[in-house]
Structure 1
Amino acid sequence: MTRTVRAKAPAKVNLQLTVGAPDADGYHPLVTVFQALDLWETVEATPREDGEIRLTLDVAAGAPVDASGVPLDASNLAWKAADLLARTYGITDGVDLHLVKGIPVAGGMAGGSADAAAALVACAEAWDTGASRAELAALAAQLGADVPFSLHGHTAVGLGRGDQLTPAMSHGEFHWVLATQSRGLSTPTVFAELDRRIGVREQAWSDFEVDREVMTALMSGDAVELGRCLTNDLEGPAISLMPRLGDVLDAADAADACGAIVSGSGPTVAALARSRQHALSIAAHLRASRTADAVVTASGPVTGTVLVQD
């Protein structure tokens, strides 16, 4: 009997994102600290006998997501994940993949990577591949730099292209306010802007190491201290491409956030709160400032990709 398997994967925020000079292949080595947040992408996988992969999608109720530009063909990361898994394990069945998107598209929060991770887990179960989590993680690294963390979740240090993960000790729960924009930013474009700024000496390469202050704040569960040491080398380039992000950061500061940062390559701005109630207050202030197209709250760290039972 054909059965539908459902898996979900979390959003991420980068607490530190340090970018090194590009290598011979044009890739920038990274030092990053990820935290998984309780916004989710859900993927439903239903095997089909004709060997085809087909995608459909919906937006989760109440989610600030414009999915109109999400491709439903072989360029989609979830499609690529299913195809890679099938080729690796000799699967001849196809699959219907239904995506339910709860993470902003092109928002620097790894929504596409979460789709890929959820598709790997759902398809592995639906096709009964017997793949271990370590084997799925190896496939995830072939799909994109953020996909392994989408599988892993919690809080982790990422090295290399961000895919070499080490769990990071973290105490307690952190509360975030996420200010999103209806227009996304292209990650390659933001990296190209960083390279341009450094080329004309508008910006310098950062010290390439894990920030000890970030790790100490995580271990102590101190949101105020963590907020003071949030760093992202891509923030300046993202703001230059979308100046409105500077207004969002200013509004978060005026709302007494512990700290605020452009998440990844943007354009989502993540503001850290002292408590859940404080997050609601910051969210109200950001909505009133009209600097973002949507504002949501989220908490972390949370688990990585998991199967969802009916």
Structure 2
Amino acid sequence: MRSHATPASVRVRAAAKVNLHLGVGAAREDGFHPLTTVYQAIGLFDDVTVERSDVDRLELHGESWVETSSIPLDATNLAARAAALLSAHHGRPLPSSVSIRKAIPVAGGLAGGSADGAATLVGIDRAWGLETPDEVLLEMAADLGSDVPFALIGGTALGTGRGELVDPIADEATWWWVAVPNRVGLSTPQVYGHFDRLFPDADPVPPSADALIEAVVSGEPVRLARTLHNDLQAPAVDLRPELGELIDQGEAAGALRGLISGSGPTVVFLCDGADGAREVAAELGGAGHDVVLVANGPVAGAHVVHGLAGLGEGGVDG
């Protein structure tokens, strides 16, 4: 049950995602690629604080490993777009001060911008006591971007369409990851364009995620490692060969499997447990990678951590 209280300030936490499976079909006539993906939310978080205000404000702060200079603070920012969607839906101004504290690397294939958009939807809804139905929030999230609905839901989930149609997957395991971001981003449209050039005869139907889902349900890290799949890895590595070298390096350090996250350039490594993840992270850090992050998953979708306890640990209700 949601509380009917209306706090003056709400802080919402939203997680990074990795794609355990990313199957890409040939581009449709509208330019979009049909996707079959399995998302997992992992324990790297952005915090978004929303306060009711007289005017709209958007400010941004980043942890030391997050380069924020390329993030727009105008109406194109996903947080600003989320606020505009809520205002339009409810037919009234909802002036809010939105402060984003970023710990998810930018332009890295971890959907940090999507996390911020999802967190802003929840934060403004709760700060203004709007009680927007969850299904409406999910529709708004899909309007914002393919990864935003999952950022609301969290956990582990199957995504279809452009990734915006999300169905949770039963996942009782705890998976351990090492993430190595890159300070030089990689454009998602560029990676998809290179996919089209490398695979001009791609099947319009993306590869199935059935084997991956079975591995998730099994809870066996070695089995999951064998089924991890990303059709964008080949174009990303072709554009940035050092990413392939990093994958080899991490696997040599003991990771079960290395994988480009989404369109990259962040590389994630599945490990056999917490100790294994820390050992791989130490090895990669010692090899000169200045930012190496350890995280477990799955974790909750966008949820309130201060100001109102009405949204539980599972993200959007239901």
Q: Taking structure 2 as the reference length, what is the TM-score of the superposition?
A: 0.91
Q: Displacement, 1:209?
A: 4.1
- Give the counterpart letter for 1:125 in structure 2: R
Q: Secondary structure at the match of 1:97?
A: strand
The list of structure 1 runs, each at least 4 consecutive aligned residues, that deviate by more than 3 angstroms after superposition, is 204-207
Aligned to 1:131: 132
Q: Displacement, 1:284?
A: 1.2
- Give the counterpart letter for 2:234 in structure 1: G
1:41 pairs with 2:46? yes
- Aligned counterparts of 2:204 and 2:250: Cα–Cα separation in 1: 25
Which moves more between the two structures, 232-241 or 281-290?
Answer: 281-290
Aligned to 1:236: 234
- Give the counterpart letter for 1:304 in structure 2: G
1:21 touches 1:205 (CA, 8 Å); kept in 2? Answer: yes
Which moves more between the two structures, 269-278 or 212-221?
Answer: 212-221
- Aligned counterparts of 2:94 and 2:106: Cα–Cα separation in 1: 29
Aligned to 2:3: none
Q: Secondary structure at the match of 1:74?
A: coil
CA-based RMSD: 1.6
1:56 pairs with 2:54? no
- Aligned counterparts of 1:309 and 1:96: Cα–Cα separation in 2: 16
Task: Give the alignment of 1:87-166 within 5 angstroms.
Answer: 87-166=88-167
Q: Displacement, 1:41?
A: 1.1
User: Sequence identity of aligned pairs in percent?
Assistant: 42
Q: Displacement, 1:196?
A: 1.2
2:34 touches 2:205 (CA, 8 Å); kept in 1? Answer: no
- Of residues 11, 15, 23 in structure 2, which corresponds to 1:10? 15
Q: Displacement, 1:92?
A: 1.4
Distance of aligned partners of 1:166 and 1:2 in 2 relative to their CA distance in 1, 3 Å threshold: closer
- Aligned counterparts of 2:173 and 2:265: Cα–Cα separation in 1: 27
1:267-301 CA-to-partner distances (Å, cap 9, x unmatched) read 000100101000001111112233x4411000000
Q: Taking structure 1 as the reference length, what is the TM-score of the superposition?
A: 0.93
Gap regions ≥5 residues in structure 2:
1-5, 308-318
1:182 touches 1:293 (CA, 8 Å); kept in 2? Answer: no
1:166-219 CA-to-partner distances (Å, cap 9, x unmatched) read 1112121000000111111111111011111123x7xx4486343322112111
1:297 pairs with 2:294? yes
- Aligned counterparts of 1:78 and 1:38: Cα–Cα separation in 2: 21
Q: How many residues align?
A: 302
- Aligned counterparts of 2:104 and 2:88: Cα–Cα separation in 1: 28
- Aligned counterparts of 1:159 and 1:93: Cα–Cα separation in 2: 32
- Aligned counterparts of 1:136 and 1:93: Cα–Cα separation in 2: 16
Task: Give the alignment of 1:190-229 within 5 angstroms.
Answer: 190-199=191-200, 204-205=202-203, 208-229=206-227
Aligned to 1:281: 279
Gap regions ≥5 residues in structure 1:
none
2:243 touches 2:267 (CA, 8 Å); kept in 1? Answer: yes
1:106 touches 1:185 (CA, 8 Å); kept in 2? Answer: yes
